[in-house]
Structure 1
Amino acid sequence: MNTFINTIALGTAALACTAALAADAPAGKAQTDHQLIRSAMAAAPRKVGAGATIIVAGKDGGMRTLREGSNGYTCMPDNPATPGPDPMCMDRAALDWAGAWMAHKEPAAGKVGFMYMLSGGTDASNTDPYATRPGPDKHWVKTGPHVMLVGAEQAFYDMYPKNPDPDTSMPYVMWPGTPYQHLMIPVK
């Protein structure tokens, strides 16, 4: 039951992050479950994606499991309504972190989670965890393929740049100074 609740929280978090539904393709471009699974698996290394649970958000905001997994990772497909590729795959601790973020609750400190976004990432605010579009004070950044470390202790993040307009070609802290700060690590 806890996994199901966390899966729903992850889906809701992804919806807030992209301000659109992950399963909603533009008119005339609906994706099959097979295409959604392939998209979700592309977020992580082949072996991780192959063993991950794959979920997708529905039009009603609920979550649908496309495939049960066995390795403790949960992946979501790209959201075609966003400007860049943004499939994601995360371990259990990152799933819990995403649930706390969406619920506007404090994530568990020191419960470090790992998230893959190897197909790239969409544009996002580097300072506002809940921004859904650019604005003069949102410090919008474009990310490429990356991994994320979430839920670490404050001292860990203090070792990395926290510039509101970071150099996204090197590791930096996204959403610094918030309970949802996390380390962005480019892989290309």
Structure 2
Amino acid sequence: MKLLKLFFLLLLPAGIYAQADVPSPEVQIKTAVLAAPEDLRDGAMVYGYDDSGKMVVLREGTNNLMCLADDPAKKGISVSCYSKKLEPFMARGRQLIAEGKSEMEKREIRQREAESGELQMPDAPSMTYILSGSEENYDRNTGELKDANFRYVIYIPYATAESTGLPTKPFAPGMPWIMDPGTHRAHIMVTPPTKSKEKE
């Protein structure tokens, strides 16, 4: 009987498995906003995934923050929230990925469009909050994620080490540094020590 059941399961389309892996909209929203400061969570707009794996708007927002739910097609758990000023940049990246562009192609296209003025970039430092963890520490029924790690990214287009006084690499755990200086995607990175490191 078990072998017969397994046989029929193998005949099911791959999409059936993908659908089963997508948490409910409520759970996706709960997990996505964990990346945001507590006082901004309730008003953040949230993008997530429907049963087919397509990205959709799960909740409209009332403040200046936008959050992305975890992509069920990728390994691990990762959610993020960012300033609405970054939406043109982020949305264009998602569009290019959907078109099958590689990471380098995506960067080159966005750089070209940013420099021409076609792609609107923020005119002031703009924040992104990233929270990541392992699937073993994630409850798909409640949306709770234990022992997750934060990373903070502050986009500041065309900033340099000289203009900010920041180094181009960290010299101590959690130290701010500037990545891709002088480019449209220049950003300040702050990566606190991971939970595992804190416990050692």
TM-score range, shorter chain: 0.5 to 0.7
- Superposed CA offset, 1:109-130 (max 9, x none): 633211111x2379xxxxxxxx
The 3 A distance-change label for structure 1 pair 52 and 158 is same
Q: C-alpha separation between the residues in 1 aligned to 2:75 and 2:53?
A: 20
Q: TM-score, normalised by structure 1?
A: 0.59
Q: What RMSD over aligned residues (CA atoms) do the two structures have, in Å?
A: 3.6
Q: C-alpha separation between the residues in 1 aligned to 2:30 and 2:159?
A: 36
Whether 1:44 and 2:49 are equivalent positions in the alignment is no
SS of the residue aligned with 1:111? coil
Structure 2: gaps spanning 5 or more residues: 1-16, 97-108, 115-119, 135-148, 194-200
Of the three residues 53, 68, 74, the one matched with 1:76 is 68
Q: C-alpha separation between the residues in 1 aligned to 2:180 and 2:160?
A: 15
Of the three residues 173, 180, 188, the one matched with 2:185 is 180
Amino acid at match of 1:171: P
Listed as ranges, the matches of 1:136-155 within 5 Å are: 144-155=149-160
Structure possessing the higher radius of gyration over alpha carbons: 2
Q: Whose RCO is larger (CA < 8 A, sep 6+)?
A: 1
Q: TM-score, normalised by structure 2?
A: 0.56
Amino acid at match of 2:123: G
Residue pair 1:148, 1:182 contacting (<8 A) in 2 also: yes
The 3 A distance-change label for structure 1 pair 150 and 121 is farther
Listed as ranges, the matches of 1:4-43 within 5 Å are: 28-43=20-35
Structure 1: gaps spanning 5 or more residues: 1-24, 123-143
| Structure 2 residue aligned with 1:127 | none
Q: C-alpha separation between the residues in 2 aligned to 1:51 and 1:43?
A: 13
Percent identical residues: 22
Whether 1:108 and 2:121 are equivalent positions in the alignment is yes
**Which structure has the highest helix share of the two?**
2
